[in-house]
Amino acid sequence: MASYLVVGASRGIGLAFVKQLSANPQNKVFAGVRNVESSIHLQPLLSRPNVHAVKLDMTNLVSLEAAAEEVARINNGKLDILILNAGLTGSGKLFNDSTYDEIIEEHSMLTNNVLGPVLTIKAFLPLISQGSQKKIIAVSSANADTEFILTIESGMGATYTATNAALNAYITKFSVQYRQEGIIFRSICPGLVDTGATQDPPILDQSRYEPMMKKLKPLFPDFKGPLTPEQSVDMVLEVIDKTTMADSGTFVSHNGNKEWL
């Protein structure tokens, strides 16, 4: 049995983590969301006795402290695995197409995508240190890999990319600092995932991926298209399960290597 806190569990990949982890009744799964009542896709899973919804805002210290206290109360002061999934993607505009105001607004993502996870790690480290597996996993993006950027020749979403690269750096730094305490840190890219079904409103039109597929197919002939959240999470959970202290501080894909697609 293992205990998990999934941050950003209201939809998409985070929701799939909760669904698949809680399918094992031996697991205890905490679903971290900003608003429990409005997390409509999460509601059906809350009937499972091993799923606990936790109100959690990564950028609010009062919320973080209350969430950590709640998890500690329910789970005897410990937590095995923390999965940091919440993140904003921004507009994806090219730099040349962005106004000064838009660039400044985009950098608000640094608070949510970098500071938020760092504060969350700080809040839950005492619980992780008492857990049996002691793993902290950051869901990252292939866009943080410089070789991948150069391969696909994409200049879009620079700020989002920068936030992922910054979080990866934190994860690697923390892995060094906490190695002697037996705490494992790792960044994992979930692959290209279609999370449209749980967006509000749902985005079900698959044709939106056609321009991307046309560009990526010659570069990655084996790439078959976006994964479903369930397919991605299956692969990521396998990587997490196999992750040991020897892997701490590294950044890999859902394949467990540098194959991003």
User: What are the domain boundaries of the chain?
Assistant: 3-253
> At residue 207, does pLDDT exceed 60?
yes
CA gap 24, 211 in Å, rounded: 39
Q: Which are the contacts of 123, defined by CB distance < 8 A and separation ≥ 6? A: 64, 65, 67, 68
What pLDDT does residue 223 have? 83
pLDDT for the residue numbered 66: 98
Q: Give me the pLDDT at residue 201, please.
A: 54
Is 205 a residue whose pLDDT tops 70?
Answer: no
Task: Say yes or no to pLDDT of 1 above 70.
Answer: yes
Q: Is the pLDDT of residue 215 over 70?
A: yes
Mind listing the pLDDT tens digit for each residue in 47-95? 999 999 999 999 999 999 999 999 999 999 999 999 999 778 876 777 7
Q: Which of 43-47, 218-222, 225-229 has the lowest mean pLDDT?
A: 218-222
* CA torsion, ordered 62, 64, 66, 69, to nearest 10 deg: -140
Residue 3 near residue 28 (C-beta atoms within 8 A): yes
Cβ atoms of 16 and 233 within 8 Å: the answer is yes
What is the pLDDT, as a whole number, of residue 22? 98
pLDDT at 203 over 80: no
Contact 138, 121 (CB under 8 A): no
Q: What number does CATH give the domain 3-253? A: 3.40.50.720
Please tell me the least confidently modeled range out of 175-184, 188-197, 206-215. 206-215
More confident residue, 188 or 200: 188
In this prediction, residue 198 carries a pLDDT of 53
pLDDT given at position 157: 83
Which residues lie below 8 Å from residue 227, measured CB to CB, with a gap of 6+? 190, 191, 192, 193, 194, 235, 254
Mean pLDDT taken over the chain = 91
pLDDT digits (tens, 9 = 90+) for 149-183: 999 888 888 889 999 999 999 999 999 999 999 99
207 vs 161, which has greater pLDDT?
A: 161
- 143 vs 73, residue with greater confidence: 73
From 121-130, 193-202, 224-233, the region with the lowest mean pLDDT: 193-202
Dist CA 18 CA 28 (whole Å): 10
**What is the predicted pLDDT for the residue at 85?**
93
Question: Residue 96: its pLDDT value, please?
Answer: 78
3-state secondary structure at position 243? coil
